[in-house]
Amino acid sequence: MAVTTLNEASTLVLPTSLDIAGSRDLQAALRPLLDSQDVAHLDASKVERVDAAGLQLLTAFVRRARSAEVSVVWRGVSAELKAAAAMTGLTFHLGLEA
Amino acid sequence: MSDPNQLLNQLREVFFQEAEEGLEVAEAGLIELSNGTFDLEALNSVFRAIHSIKGGSGTFGLTRLIEFAHTAEAILDALRSQDNPPATEVVDGLLLSVDHLRAMLAAERDGSDLDSARTQDLQAQLQVLLSLVQGGAPSSATAAPVTAAPAAPAATFATEWSIEFLPHTDLMAFGNDPILLLRELGSLGPCRVEAILDRLPSFEQLEPDSIHLGWRINLSAAVEEAQIRDVFAWVESETDLNIKRVEPAAGRPATEPAPITAPTAPKAIPSAARAMAAAQPQQHREASSIRVSTDKVDALINLVGELVITQSMLSQIEKEVQIPQLDRLRDGLAQLKRNTRELQDSVMQIRMLPIKFVFSRFPRIVRDLTTKLGKKVDLQILGEDTELDKTLLEGVADPLVHIVRNALDHGLETPEERLAAGKPETGSLRIEAYHQGGDVHIKVSDNGRGLNLAGIFKKAVQVGLVKAEDRLSDAEIVDLLFAPGFSTAAQVSDISGRGVGLDVARRNIQNLGGTVEVDSKPGKGTTFSIRLPLTMAILDGQLVQVGSQIYIIPLVAILESLLMGSAHIRNIAGQQEVYRLRDEPVPVIRLYDIFGVPAERKTLPNSLLVVVESGGKKAGILVDDLLDQQQVVIKSLESNYGSVGGVSGATILGDGTVALILDVPGVVSLANRQARRANDEWGTRAARSQAGTASGAGRSKA
């Protein structure tokens, strides 16, 4: 199942459901962003459903990116993702601070 | 007769200024208290500051401020009766209330809207803290002054709970989602949630369907432990749960009643002795200084500037006239010169403020950021009494904050990374200021990982600043950090990514007549060195002549002046002339060309070249003659003429003529633009003539 797509500007568009069901596919889609570039663009504007597994995966990704000096740029963040991050105390760890 | 309204407005303005300063004092005191030692003097200083703000607010009828300050003051007063340092959450809460008082003051001052929901929310939090500090059993009497705030009653009886929630890795496999549990918990009362990432494996090793996160939650709610346990009832077997009631600060004798009388008294004067102790240092401070508006000081400085000009005009005449009493006149003029200079120095001193005003914000910034970033940093601040001009002080604040944030975010490593690199887990950040050679030096040094030159170069290639095949020296790569467009700050949701980039920080410092340098050693750390002039009102300048005009080049920008030998002059393809200075090509700038004035000398051999430095690069300015070096009083052109390219201001010389002061970076960029235009024209001409030759050749072939 292709959960993510790269659009013209090399942005990884996150799926509508960031949950445990799709987390393995998402992990596979995120991995190449750490190898090839200095900036990883993520578009989370379409995310409607988030669970702790999805947040955990994104947190691990952002942490890894920081230690590899890859900047994570959020192209868009849905209200749902922001709310879930705030509720779990992960806003800062995800680099979602305003 | 003065208008009573006007007087009241003036007094109000003074109150706002004093309140702002008071909040700075309170903030500094709270940071001291957060070090874990009980410092009664620091506590008193915070109490005094908040108490004065409350008193002033009463005078001007700012009721919302009175209520808010009252609660904060009650907490502080309760803390004074204890022998223990306040708990971290109490200091955090008080720091938040200082921030909010600042916002409330700004709103009152500008007449803008205030976020009243935030006020109520914080007020409720402060009430919880107050009951915590007073021994956990809030009395109705303590809550009385704030019952007007709607959120207060519920919170008054709230208990502070600390909950550690560590799900087992297979929690989600059973269809349970911690987010739902946290949401449920949030419905009980206000929560502060902190994620625990200790158990989170690296991205590569993460099994995405196992849960490795944990949470620490601070819940303020009027609930029993059982109600909290109920939330987790379904997942009990897949969770480690630790619920604790947060006790008031330890060490306080349980039998001692909370000092509830102080906060309830309408005027909130604790005890006579304490109030006197609190008031004494302030009286001392009032006696040693007076408050004068900056406009008055600037008018005085301007007048002294005029006096300096008049004095040098008289000295000029003295050289030219012959009268019998010349010796006596000369003595008088020498004395006038000395006195004028001393007067000028003294007046300039009035505008000088200790850099403490900027440095004082760093302990808070470092504390907040290290907590967020999970780093350990030992902050050292040195030379905070170093004085510099108020305008410079205000101008350097933002660039400095940016550099400090940068050091915390990128420079210093996490404790794990430091231990892995064989360093102590606590990093060090040193911010120092000192005077040297008529300049103010400010250094920000960290003992972190140092600059990653390869990484900087790679990023610069990526954003198109340089080409992958370019060969740059280490210094040139470091300079890329300051290039506009290097920082991805505007897009990255990052600590140092908010606000200005390093390019803007450097430009701001250059606009103040200063410079920034970076020194970095891999694995050892990075030092940002800022150099600023003491003041922006006078300047040491070199007077140069171009045609009939006299220009002033700031001495700080001049490297050397020389007579050009013809053997060193080169004309690079196109129009760019360069002078080879010890094997380094220095582009020659013809000032008369840029400003469109007639000049005496247009040929380069045997002409004078003033070598200047701008943005780490050298350039040579061709001049007809070198005149005196002297201190000049800077007069702004902008108020009358707007911004003039290549010129930073003007001055009046001893003979009454007006001389323009060169803005060296501006002159260099004007010259570069001119050279580029000339180059393009040359390129077009060359291409045209080549095309002509080619077509001619083609025809001849045919």
The CATH number of whichever domain residue B334 belongs to comes to 1.10.287
Does residue B259 lie in a domain region? no
Q: Which two tokens stand for residue A83?
A: 């709310």
Return the C-alpha torsion angle B633, B440, B613, B487, nearest 10.
-120
Question: Cβ contacts (< 8 Å) between B490 and chain A: which residues?
Answer: none
User: Residue B575's pLDDT is what?
Assistant: 63
**Dihedrals phi, psi of B166, to nearest 5 degrees:** -120, 95
Which of A53, A71, A93 is nearest residue B195 as measured by Cβ atoms? A93
Statement to judge: residues B146 and B192 lie in one domain? no
What confidence tens digit (pLDDT) does each residue in B495-550 have?
444 435 788 788 888 878 788 889 999 889 999 999 888 777 777 889 999 988 99
Which of B493, B510, B533 marks a domain boundary? B533
Statement to judge: residues B372 and B340 lie in one domain? no
Beta carbons of B114 and B64 less than 8 angstroms apart: yes
User: Residue A11's pLDDT is what?
Assistant: 83
Statement to judge: residues B75 and B165 lie in one domain? no
For chain A, list the strands marked E by DSSP.
5-6, 11-13, 17-18, 39-44, 49-50, 71-77
Statement to judge: residues B80 and B188 lie in one domain? no
Residue of A nearest to B205 (CA): A60
Which of B474, B507, B533 marks a domain boundary? B533
User: Residue B339's pLDDT is what?
Assistant: 84
Mean pLDDT of all residues belonging to chain B: 79
Statement to judge: residues B566 and B643 lie in one domain? yes
Does residue B576 lie in a domain region? yes
User: Residue B700's pLDDT is what?
Assistant: 38
Beta carbons of B555 and B629 less than 8 angstroms apart: yes
Put simply, whether A33 touches B (Cβ < 8 Å) is: no
Does residue B227 lie in a domain region? yes
- Band of residue B152 on the pLDDT scale cut at 50, 70, 90: very low
- The Cα–Cα gap between B486 and B464 comes to 9
* CATH number, position B622: 2.40.50.180
User: Residue B287's pLDDT is what?
Assistant: 41
Statement to judge: residues B388 and B402 lie in one domain? yes
The distance of A94 to chain B (nearest Cα, Å) reads 9
**Dihedrals phi, psi of B66, to nearest 5 degrees:** -60, -50
Bigger pLDDT: B343 vs B683: B343
How many alpha carbons lie under 13 Å from residue B9 in its C-beta half-sphere? 6
Statement to judge: residues B546 and B625 lie in one domain? yes
Return the C-alpha torsion angle B600, B603, B609, B613, nearest 10.
110
What confidence tens digit (pLDDT) does each residue in B349-374 have?
787 888 988 898 898 889 888 988 88
Candidates A11, A58, A88, partner chain B, best to mutate (most B CBs within 10 A)? A88
Average of pLDDT values for B644-663? 86
Average of pLDDT values for B145-162? 49
- Band of residue B691 on the pLDDT scale cut at 50, 70, 90: low
Q: What is the set of domains in chain A, with CATH numbers?
A: 5-87 (3.30.750.24)
- The total of structural domains in chain B comes to 5
Instruction: Report the candidate in B161, B226, B164 with the shortest Cα–Cα distance to residue B194.
Output: B164
Query: What residue numbers bound the domain in which B57 lies?
Result: 4-151
Within 8 A by CB and 6+ apart from B368, the residues are: none
Average of pLDDT values for B581-600? 89
Does residue B690 lie in a domain region? no
- Band of residue B621 on the pLDDT scale cut at 50, 70, 90: very high
Buried b (16+ CB within 10 A) or exposed e, B64-77: bbbbbbbbbbbbbb
- The Cα–Cα gap between B336 and B318 comes to 13
User: Residue B157's pLDDT is what?
Assistant: 56
Q: Which residue has the tokens 């849960």?
A: B211
Does residue B692 lie in a domain region? no
Put simply, whether A18 touches B (Cβ < 8 Å) is: no
Does residue B115 lie in a domain region? yes
The distance of A70 to chain B (nearest Cα, Å) reads 10
Statement to judge: residues B570 and B495 lie in one domain? no
What confidence tens digit (pLDDT) does each residue in B172-211 have?
877 788 998 898 888 888 888 999 998 999 999 999 889 9
User: Residue B615's pLDDT is what?
Assistant: 67
* CATH number, position B139: 1.20.120.160
Beta carbons of B537 and B634 less than 8 angstroms apart: yes
Put simply, whether B193 touches A (Cβ < 8 Å) is: yes
Does residue B262 lie in a domain region? no
User: Residue B273's pLDDT is what?
Assistant: 36
How many alpha carbons lie under 13 Å from residue B477 in its C-beta half-sphere? 19
The distance of B493 to chain A (nearest Cα, Å) reads 5
Question: Interhelix angle for B116-133 vs B63-80, to 10°?
Answer: 20
Statement to judge: residues B20 and B122 lie in one domain? yes
What confidence tens digit (pLDDT) does each residue in B261-312 have?
223 333 333 333 333 333 333 333 334 567 777 788 888 888 888 888 888 7
Inform me whether the pLDDT recorded for B166 exceeds 90: yes
Does residue B696 lie in a domain region? no
Q: How far is CA B190 from CA B38, B359, B589, B602, in A?
A: 29, 34, 66, 77
**Dihedrals phi, psi of B39, to nearest 5 degrees:** -125, 100
Inform me whether the pLDDT recorded for B448 exceeds 80: yes
Beta carbons of A7 and A13 less than 8 angstroms apart: yes
Inform me whether the pLDDT recorded for B252 exceeds 70: no
Chain A, chain B: beta-carbon pairs less than 8 Å apart? 106
- The Cα–Cα gap between B350 and B331 comes to 29
Inform me whether the pLDDT recorded for A72 exceeds 50: yes
Statement to judge: residues B600 and B589 lie in one domain? yes
Statement to judge: residues B337 and B382 lie in one domain? no
Average of pLDDT values for B391-398? 86
Reported ipTM: the value is: 0.92
Span of A28-32, A51-55, B488-492, B585-589 with lowest mean pLDDT: B488-492
Statement to judge: residues B571 and B603 lie in one domain? yes
* CATH number, position B467: 3.30.565.10
Which of B304, B336, B351 marks a domain boundary? B351
Q: Which of residues 63-82 of A touch B (CB under 8 A)?
A: 63-64, 67, 69, 71-74
- Give me the percent of chain B exceeding a pLDDT of 70: 83
User: Residue B56's pLDDT is what?
Assistant: 79
